[in-house]
Structure formats: structure tokens, C-alpha cells
């Protein structure tokens, strides 16, 4: 059974969360950062956005790679409902929405039917996380994510920067920012290689103030 009680802050913010990302410029900053990354997805590529919230990553990748197949999941139904509304309003056909506890990324529940879908090993071409790893057991989650990622598949984490402000926010919202060193070590242990940090730049403002990215590839 999925526990949601300590994520209620996201549920109660759900209807303003997407608008906040847009109005604050955060969405534009993240997209300017993502635009610089040379993702090479073939048509039909399966992409997982875990802890998708209202779909910051899912919507970006669905538009940039219209022939890809995006699996967007979150533990908080009210965030997913906001994403579903955008999908319907904009007629987006390549995002499927799932309820899921990212601690167990191989178990997805179709958001509309509740039907459980078990993800097979080596299933996804890419796994993309933004601000979600901080809410789960990072080591166990990355190990499990590695299992469902194809050999050679890419893993991107756009995480919360470790900073005094991040620490305070973490206490309020109950999340744990990780250092790049810590995440790199976890990724190495989970079978990733070619692990490097990707800088956010001033032109990605304001996302560059609070976020830091790591990109890795699962060993072939
Ligand atoms: C900071 S928000 C990031 C949302 C989105 N990825 C973005 O970048 O805008 C964190 C998200 O993680 C979700 N979350 C928290 N704990 C989770 C868990 N155990 N499994 C899945 N999602 C979780 C929250 O509901 C929330 O939507």
C-alpha cells in the first residue's frame, strides 16, 4: 500500500504547482538546460519520468520527442490529475500516467484504471528524474531503476542542490538533497558508467540557483 501522508504538501499545492513553475521562470530555466543536452532517442523510445509532479519533464520530452513513449508517475494523485488535465487539453498522445511509489519503480499503477503494470528488467531507454530522488531512499531506488533501464540507457537526475537554503527547505518539506559525490558513488555501485555532472548556467535562471544535474549511462 502506498503511503502519501507526508507528501500531502504536494497534493495541496497541486493546482498551483504547475502555474508556479511557469510564472517563476523555473520551467523556462529547466527547459533551457534540457535543450542543451543531446538526447538521442529513437522513435518508440520508452522514457520514465518518476516523481513527475505536474509533468515538468514529461511534457517537455513528449513535445521534443513526439514519437517517444513517456511513462510519467507520481505518488500524489492530485499532481497526476493536473498532468492528466494538460494531456487532455493539449491532446498529447505519448504520455501515460501512473501512480507509483518511486521506492519501487518497477510497480506502476495505471492512473485511470488502477491496473498494476510490472515493468520488466531492461525496459526503459531513459530514466529522467527532477526533484524526486530527494523524497526516497536514493541508493535503493537507483539500484532498482538500474534494473529496469536498458544497458546503454541514460539516467538523468536534476536534483536539489545541497545548500543552506536546500537544508531548510528539506526540513520543512521532508526531503534530503544529496551531494554529487554521493550520487555518483551510488550510480557507480548500481552499474552506471560515464557519470558526470552537467552544469546549469546563469541563462537557466532561476533553476541554476537550486538545482544540479547528474547524467549517467547504464553499462552495456
Ligand atoms: C519537487 S516535486 C518535483 C515534481 C516534478 N518532477 C518537477 O520537477 O516539477 C517532487 C514530487 O515527488 C513526488 N513524490 C514524493 N515522494 C514520492 C514517492 N515516494 N514516489 C513517487 N513520487 C513521490 C511528489 O508528489 C512531487 O510531485
Nearest CA to ligand 1 atom 17: 75
Residue 63 phi, psi (nearest 5): -80, -40
pLDDT for 181 equals: 94
Q: What is the DSSP letter of 203?
A: G
Domain that holds residue 84: 5-218
Cα 51 to ligand 1 centre (Å): 4
Sequence-distant (≥ 6) Cβ neighbours of residue 169 within 8 angstroms: 160, 175
Least Cα distance to 130 among 188, 59, 67 occurs for 59
Q: How far is the CA of 101 from the centre of ligand 1 (A)?
A: 9
What is residue 1's predicted lDDT score, i.e. its pLDDT?
Answer: 47
Domain CATH for 201: 3.40.50.150
Number of domains the chain is built from = 1
Per-residue pLDDT 10s for the chain (220 aa) are 455 444 547 777 888 888 889 999 999 999 999 999 999 899 999 999 999 999 999 999 999 999 999 999 999 999 999 999 999 999 999 999 999 999 999 999 999 999 999 999 999 999 999 999 999 999 999 999 999 999 999 999 999 988 777 777 777 777 788 899 999 999 999 999 999 999 899 999 999 998 999 999 999 9
Q: How far is the CA of 5 from the centre of ligand 1 (A)?
A: 13
pLDDT digits (tens, 9 = 90+) for 122-147: 999 999 999 999 999 999 999 999 99
Q: What atom of ligand 1 comes closest to residue 135's alpha carbon?
A: 16
- In angstroms, what is the span from residue 50 Cα to ligand 1's centroid? 7
Amino acid at each position: 500500500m502506498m503511503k502519501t501522508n507526508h507528501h500531502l504538501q504536494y497534493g495541496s499545492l497541486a493546482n498551483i504547482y504547475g502555474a508556479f513553475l511557469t510564472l517563476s521562470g523555473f520551467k523556462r530555466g529547466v527547459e533551457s538546460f534540457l535543450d542543451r543536452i543531446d538526447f538521442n532517442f529513437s522513435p518508440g523510445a520508452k522514457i520514465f519520468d518518476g516523481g513527475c509532479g505536474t509533468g515538468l519533464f514529461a511534457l517537455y520530452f513528449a513535445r521534443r520527442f513526439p514519437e517517444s513513449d513517456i511513462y510519467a508517475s507520481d505518488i500524489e494523485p492530485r499532481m497526476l490529475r493536473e498532468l492528466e488535465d494538460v494531456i487532455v487539453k493539449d491532446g498529447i498522445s505519448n504520455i501515460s500516467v501512473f501512480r507509483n511509489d518511486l521506492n519501487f519503480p518497477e510497480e506502476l499503477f495505471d492512473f485511470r484504471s488502477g491496473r498494476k503494470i510490472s515493468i520488466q528488467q531492461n525496459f526503459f531507454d531513459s530514466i529522467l528524474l527532477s526533484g524526486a530522488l530527494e523524497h526516497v531512499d536514493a541508493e535503493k531506488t537507483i539500484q532498482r531503476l538500474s534494473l529496469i533501464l536498458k544497458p546503454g540507457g541514460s539516467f538523468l537526475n536534476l536534483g536539489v542542490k545541497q545548500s543552506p537554503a536546500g537544508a531548510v527547505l528539506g526540513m520543512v518539506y521532508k526531503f534530503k538533497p544529496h551531494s554529487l559525490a554521493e550520487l555518483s558513488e551510488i550510480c557507480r555501485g548500481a552499474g552506471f558508467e560515464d557519470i558526470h555532472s552537467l552544469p546549469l548556467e546563469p541563462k537557466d535562471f532561476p533553476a541554476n540557483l537550486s538545482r544540479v544535474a547528474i547524467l549517467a549511462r547504464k553499462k552495456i
